[in-house]
């Protein structure tokens, strides 16, 4: 990849170090959360025509309030989801972003908060951490959807 001119010579960056499998998995995880986010918003704000507005992920996540999604702020997944989205945005503009444990730390912190009553050791592998985080977030959205549609079956 072209890296500019340095010391009068063209400089190149190698992109062979990119973990394409992890990058694809990360993007799939983001899409899963986006799917559940969209379904959650359709269920909780049914009066809005969701086909017309083209809201960004950030705008949609800002419509979610933790008070409705979870009963205790310490279980609020929104800051960690926003971090995941910020990483996705960085990746879309810079291929060399590293998806290591340091970059994913807010996800591990969120999972740690959930298990404050018992010791929790976050996975040390980025892919395993993403799996645990996304599974937890999607389950949170799914449980709310299940309750919403049971309580208001025609919504």
Q: Which domain holds residue 53?
A: 18-151
Structural domains counted in the chain:
1
pTM of the model: 0.83
User: Which residues 6+ apart lie within 8 Å of 39 measured at CB?
Assistant: 141, 145
Structure tokens at 24: 């694809």
pLDDT greater than 60 at residue 153:
no
At 33 the pLDDT is 96
Mean pLDDT of all residues in 127-144: 92
- pLDDT tens, 80-135? 999 999 999 998 888 777 889 999 999 999 998 887 667 778 888 999 999 999 99
Is 2 within a domain?
Answer: no
Higher pLDDT, 155 or 93: 93
Question: Which of 89, 92, 86 shows the shortest CA–CA distance to 106?
Answer: 86
Q: Residue 13 domain-assigned? A: no
pLDDT in tens, 19-72: 889 999 999 999 999 999 999 888 888 888 887 778 899 999 988 876 666 666
Residue at 69 is within a domain: yes
Q: Which residues pair with 6 in a beta bridge?
A: 9
pLDDT of residue 51: 78
The answer to whether residue 12 is domain-embedded is no
């Amino acid at each position: 990849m072209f890296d500019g001119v340095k010391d009068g010579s063209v400089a190149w960056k190698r992109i062979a170090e990119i973990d394409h499998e992890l990058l694809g998995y990360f993007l799939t995880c983001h899409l899963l959360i986006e799917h559940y986010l969209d379904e959650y918003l359709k269920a909780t704000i049914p009066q809005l025509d969701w086909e017309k507005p083209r809201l960004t992920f950030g705008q949609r996540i800002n419509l979610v309030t933790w008070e409705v999604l979870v009963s205790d702020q310490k279980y609020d997944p929104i800051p960690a989801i926003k971090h995941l989205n910020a990483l996705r945005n960085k990746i879309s503009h810079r291929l060399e972003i590293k998806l290591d444990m340091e970059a994913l730390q807010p996800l591990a912190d969120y999972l740690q908060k959930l298990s404050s009553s018992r010791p929790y050791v976050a996975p040390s592998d980025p892919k395993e951490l993403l799996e645990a985080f996304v599974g937890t977030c999607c389950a949170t959205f799914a449980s709310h959807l299940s309750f919403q549609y049971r309580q208001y079956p025609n919504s």
